Amino acid sequence: MALKNLDLNLLVALEALLEERSVTEAARRIRLSQPACSAALARLRTHFGDPLLVRSGGNRYALTSLAERLLVQVGPVMEGISRITSTPAAATQETLAREYSILLADADVFAFIPSLIDSLQADAPGATLRLDHATIDRQQNMAETLRSVDGAILPHRLLEGMPYLDLYEEQWLVVADAGNPVVRDGVTPAELAALPWAAAYDRLPRLFSPLEGLRSLGHSVTVELHTESFAALPALVAGSDRVALVPARLAHQLAPATGTTAVPCPFDVHPYTLAFAWHPQFDRDPAHLWLRERIRVSSADPPVESRVGRAATGRATRA
């Protein structure tokens, strides 16, 4: 279907009709008269060769199978069009009145996002930030996911084939309840393997689980709790005999507040490099270039808590 044969204004009507499943509600949402919205639906039906909306009883409508597929696609398309039409010729404080959307794991919210927000507010008060959770499903299809957000902050091994900016290398620490008698300086891999674990993203394909270092030594590991939240791990081990591997910046920040302790890992755990990746469509976008520089600067230094924790080499950080 040639784009030149479709008025792009019809995409606005298409999105509203598919989401509202009602000509009346769609017309109200996009501020058209009901006859005008009905006419738009008729043109869309002709273009796609499909009824799109079919009556399912009374005034209720259901989506056809084609409409269901279009519903998934039209949102990212409209978001992309909005970005294109609002792109300024140059990124200045006056023109950067836009929302930036970033996909990331919650550990990175604690690591440097507060510094990034401060930078945005200082340099471009009109810019806002939306943070989306990097679920396993979204990470497994990054090429498509990056079409609908400004970028993703993830381990760069997950970002193959996309332009990216390396930010910093992250280490792992073992986190346990501060009163756990087993977790102390000199704890052995065998002692850790005997404890139950809480793990984040342990089942994510293509991502090397930090627990593989323990498994590679021949130990069997019992994971009692799986989660898609690193920030939840200290709370999940507090008051129990569970342990977890947590990114160092996050562990140093949350351990004092959760009654947990963060100690060096006694087995080999590969650090990972965190990176910011984006879709190639944003390569030369002035506003996106501006964002990438703010992210680079904001992530350059670890928070104060992490710097203090690293200085205490070989010692546990206790609540």
Cα separation of 207 and 160, whole Å?
A: 12
Delimit the domains of the chain by residue range. 3-85, 99-319
pTM of the predicted protein model:
0.63
Determine the pLDDT at residue 175: 94
pLDDT of residue 73: 80
Give the up-direction half-sphere exposure of residue 27: CA atoms within 13 A in the CB hemisphere. Answer: 13
Tell me how far CA of residue 25 lies from CA of 11, 13, 38, 72, in angstroms: 16, 11, 11, 20
Number of neighbours of residue 35 by Cβ within 10 angstroms: 10
Q: Which has the closest alpha carbon to 13: 1, 25, 30, 28?
A: 30
Q: What is the pLDDT along the chain (319 residues), one digit of tens a residue?
A: 444 556 677 888 888 888 888 888 888 888 888 888 888 899 888 888 898 888 876 667 888 889 888 888 887 777 766 666 655 555 455 456 778 899 998 888 887 888 888 888 888 888 888 998 888 777 777 777 888 889 999 888 777 788 999 998 889 999 999 998 888 767 889 999 999 999 987 765 545 577 888 888 888 888 999 888 899 999 999 999 999 999 998 999 898 899 999 999 888 888 888 999 998 888 888 888 889 999 999 888 655 443 333 333 333 333 2
Tell me which residue has tokens 């680079």.
Answer: 296
Q: Is 45 exposed, middle or buried (0-12, 13-18, 19+ CB in 10 A)?
A: middle
Which stretches of the chain are assigned E, i.e. beta strand? Answer: 53-57, 60-63, 99-104, 128-133, 151-155, 164-170, 172-177, 197-200, 223-227, 243-247, 260-264, 272-277
Q: 99-319, what's its fold?
A: D-Maltodextrin-Binding Protein; domain 2 (3.40.190)
Dihedral over Cα of 180, 234, 255, 167: its sign: positive
Q: What is the domain class of 3-85 according to CATH? A: mainly alpha
Question: Hey, what amino acid is at 196?
Answer: P
Phi/psi at 311 (5° precision): -65, -25
Strand partners, 275: 154, 166
Between CA 287 and CA 123 the distance in angstroms is: 12
The pLDDT value recorded for residue 80 is 67
Strand-strand pairing, 151-155 and 99-104: parallel
One-letter amino acid for residue 131 of the chain: L
Nearest to 287 by CA among 73, 82, 19, 8: 82
Q: Which two tokens stand for residue 260?
A: 């947990």
Identify which of 189, 250, 196, 245 has the alpha carbon closest to the alpha carbon of residue 225. 196
**Residues whose CB is less than 8 angstroms from the CB of residue 157 and which lie 6 or more positions away in sequence, other chains included:** 206, 207, 208, 272
3-state secondary structure of 181: coil
* Tokens (6 digits) for 252: 């140093």
Any residues with CB less than 8 A from the CB of 87 and at least 6 apart, and which?
285, 286, 287
What backbone phi and psi angles, to 5 degrees, belong to 101?
A: -110, 130
Q: Which residues contact 161 (CB under 8 A, 6 or more apart)?
A: 143
